[in-house]
Amino acid sequence: MAQSDWAGVTAPDLDDFAALAEAARSALPAEFAAAARDVAIRVEDLAPDDLLRDLGMDDPFALTGLYEGVPLTAKSVMDPGGHADVIWLFRRAILDEWIARGDITLDALVSHVYVHELAHHLGWSDAQIAEIDRWWD
């Protein structure tokens, strides 16, 4: 990219990230689309301190995304209502990873984080996700 191509370019903001996540949701295979529509997407710059404490984490840049909710495999008609399932994406942590990797597009990384968190909603463990998603190989 020529130097002049960067003039006026700013980092993608929270709305840009939300649009990338929505694009990832729209691109899902039909068998996952319905489940994905039931999960809210929230984008924040970094994970809040209380959430990091709950997870036993110190570094907010180590958490790019999080599924918050009850996986479909554990849901019951007896569950109390009022708690929506949410996929959290953390913009600055994703940007930091994107820069550090330097070998993928930002939309691909946002999509990867989104799909990984959606897999938790579907009831998949990290080990099961790793069997299917060879992202880090």
Chunked mean pLDDT (size 10), the chain, 137 residues: 77 96 91 88 96 95 93 70 86 97 93 90 78 58
- Give the burial class of 43: count Cβ atoms within 10 A of its Cβ; 0-12 exposed, 13-18 middle, 19 or more buried: buried
126: number of CA atoms within 13 Å, CB side? 4
Instruction: Set out the domains of the chain in order of their start, with CATH numbers.
Output: 11-72+82-132 (3.30.2010.20)
CB 21 within 8 A of CB 43: yes
pTM confidence score? 0.86
Residues 6+ positions from 109 with CB-CB distance below 8 Å: 94, 97, 98, 101
Residues 34 and 89: their CA atoms lie apart, in Å, by 20
Candidates 7, 34, 15; CA nearest to 121 is 34
